[in-house]
Structure 1
Amino acid sequence: MLMIFDFFNNSSSITVSVMEQFHDYTMMFLSIIIMFIFVIMFRIINSKTTNYNFKENMNLEVIWTIIPMIILFLIAYPSLYYLYLFDLSMNPTISMKVIGAQWYWIYEYFDQSGWSYSSYMLSDLDLMKSNMINKLGWRLLETDTRLILPYATEIQCLTTSMDVIHSFSIPDLGIKMDSIPGRLNSINFQITRPGLFFGQCAEICGTGHSFMPICLEAI
């Protein structure tokens, strides 16, 4: 039941909100197309006569060639608009760097005099030793040091890797960015509410791939 309620939560970032709006927009076209096809199929199957004007109508063929082109344009334009909007950096208040390592994360804040720290997964034994029994439900997701960020603030996140390819992924915030050695990838996001957001490395990076979680706390 907890997973069901969590699935229907409101979006936690502007990126996810835009994705949901675009999903609803494209589903409108998909629903109309499916309904139209089913109506045509139903009428053809239940009709005892053959309508040759419908099957060999040149004007109708031109119409149902042009209409799909218009629909594709109506879907492609907002898709490209949102794609470039996500990469646009207006005026980020905070810039940070995420470095993937085997098998933990390193966070650096550019605006805090180069302050950096490492974040490791907490094992079940560590949770019990530190009297954090109430957090056993988040096993394999809780970390010894959380990534602390303010909500309602535009944040620029840069990521790279020290060894192999990792992937910095927080699904609730619509963040998934590859951490590649020798390359610096960038993403901008804005969290809309305070809370805890969990993620994991989304790229198979070795035997410890399942044990390098991300725990972000928005305050």
Structure 2
Amino acid sequence: MKKILSAAAVLPLFTWAQSAYAAQPTPWQTRFQPAATGIMEDVIWFEVYTLWFIIPITLLVMALLAWVMIRFRASANPTPSRTSHNTLIEVIWTVGPVVILLFLAIPSFQLLTAQYTPPEEPAITVKATGVQWSWEYEYQNDDNLSFSSFMLQESDRAAAGKEDVEQYPRLLAVDNELVVPVNTTVRVLVTASDVIHAFAMPAFGIKVDAVPGRLNETWFKADREGMYYGQCSELCGKDHAYMPIAIHVVSQDRYDAWRAEAQADLGNAYKNLTASAESREDTKLAAAGN
């Protein structure tokens, strides 16, 4: 049942994700962003699963309220019943909710456990530090690569090679994205240097508070390449709305090339990575047109 509901919920989103370069909010969006990880697919499935309980319960309660208001209004029922005890009804409204809560709690606990349990030892560990109002990233390995990520200013688009607003949307695009390889388990250590922030990436199904003096941990394993956007999700000051998160998921070869070049020249490494992404997107669109 889970697989059937998951496929039904994710299929149109997956189709959209194949044709789009970036997973980002859209105008009048009412659904989730396309899932880019197995965890987010499970989140979408669980949301659909809970609706099979929520909608019937809501309709039942509305119907009962309407029936009570009409059937037992003063004009239709001038002498109200003084019944104060009904064993059958009391058993039903006690056992029924308990059973429903069990059906909701079991998959909920399973999802929560999966969110905190990587399927394998993470190959990459990144420390993300929230700062008013940007993010600092530090790869936790021998070369110790670190950099800051600020929201991309409109005046800097041309120099960064990010003039396409559809791919690099206003208020979401950044100067330096967090770059990770596809199909790789990534551990993210989240903290803050000043006030409480929150590291959230909707397409990955992750959201964790960044608390000063504390390290919180999350993980993701993106299963398709692309640019993914999130934002700080904890009110953190006057520029809270201008603190986006961008994660660029690339192939292992492109990641290795970017990582090697970033050690010597971070700015040039990003320019080459952006140019490479543009070239791949043009090639994909040309192939689709043919």
What TM bracket, shorter-length normalisation? 0.7 to 0.9
> Is residue 97 from structure 1 mapped to residue 101 from structure 2 by the alignment?
no
Between 1:31-40 and 1:97-106, the stretch displaced more is 31-40
Partner residue in 2 for 1:187: 218
Relative to the length of structure 2, the TM-score reads 0.64
Distance 1:7 1:32, change over 3 A: closer
TM-score (norm 1): 0.83
Shift of 1:35: 4.2
Structure 1 residues 206 and 58: CA distance shift in structure 2, 3 A: closer
Letter in 2 for 1:213: P
Deviation at 1:204, TM superposition (A): 2.4
Q: SS at the partner of 1:134?
A: coil
In the alignment, structure 1 residue 22 sits paired with structure 2 residue 46:
yes
CA shift, 1:192, in A, is 2.2
Aligned to 1:147: 178
1:107 shift after superposition: 0.9
Amino acid at match of 1:85: A
- Please say if residues 123 and 184 of structure 2, whose CA atoms lie closer than 8 Å, have aligned partners that are also in contact: yes
Q: Secondary structure in 1 aligned to 2:195?
A: coil
Secondary structure of 1:70's match? helix
Which amino acid in the other structure matches residue 68 of structure 1?
A: P
1:212 is matched by which residue type in structure 2? M
**Equivalent position to 1:120, from 142, 150, 171:** 150
Match of 1:73 among 102, 106, 110: 102
* Structure 2 SS opposite 1:163: coil
Q: Who is 1:200 aligned against?
A: 231
Q: How many residues are paired up?
A: 216
Distance change (3 Å), C-alpha of 1:59 and 1:210: closer
> Residue 164 of structure 2: SS of its match in structure 1?
helix
Q: Cα RMSD between the aligned structures?
A: 2.9
Residues 129 and 191, structure 2, Cα contact 8 Å, conserved in 1: yes
Structure 1 unmatched runs, 5+ = none
Q: Quick check: 2:32–2:202 contact (8 Å CA) kept in 1?
A: no
Contact persistence 1:127–1:135 (CA under 8 A)? no
Gap change, CA 1:135 and 1:181, over 3 Å in 2? same
Alpha-carbon spacing, 1:127–1:37, altered in 2? closer, same or farther (3 Å)? same
- What is the match of residue 82 of structure 1? 111
Which residue of structure 2 aligns with residue 157 of structure 1?
188
C-alpha separation in 2, matches of 1:159 and 1:8: 23
The Cα offsets for residues 120-171 of structure 1, whole Å up to 9 and x where unpaired, read as 2221111145453323761222111111112222211101112222211222
1:173 maps to which of 204, 207, 218? 204
CA distance in 2 between counterparts of 1:83 and 1:130 reads 39
CA distance in 2, matches of 1:217, 1:130: 15
Corresponding residue SS for 1:138: coil
Q: 1:108 to 1:130 in 2, by over 3 A?
A: closer
Name the counterpart of 2:141: 111
Overall identity of the aligned pairs, in %: 34
Q: Which runs of 5+ in 2 are unaligned?
A: 1-25, 251-290
Alignment deviations for residues 60-88 of structure 1 (CA, whole Å, 9 cap, x no partner): 43233212111111111221222122112
User: Do the aligned partners of 2:33 and 2:202 also contact (CA within 8 Å) in 1?
Assistant: no
Could you tell me how far apart the structure 2 residues matched to 1:97 and 1:210 are?
22
Instruction: Tell whether the 8 Å contact from 2:182 to 2:221 is kept in structure 1 after alignment.
Output: yes
Shift of 1:41: 5.9
Q: Which position in structure 2 is the counterpart of 1:34?
A: 58
**RCO (CA 8 Å, sep 6+): is it higher in 1 or 2?**
1
**Secondary structure at 1:139 match in 2:** coil
Amino acid at match of 1:79: S
CA distance in 1, matches of 2:90, 2:128: 54
Q: Is the 8 A contact 2:230 2:245 kept in 1?
A: yes
The CA distance in 2 between the partners of 1:163 and 1:56, in whole Å, is 58
**Structure with more strand by fraction:** 1
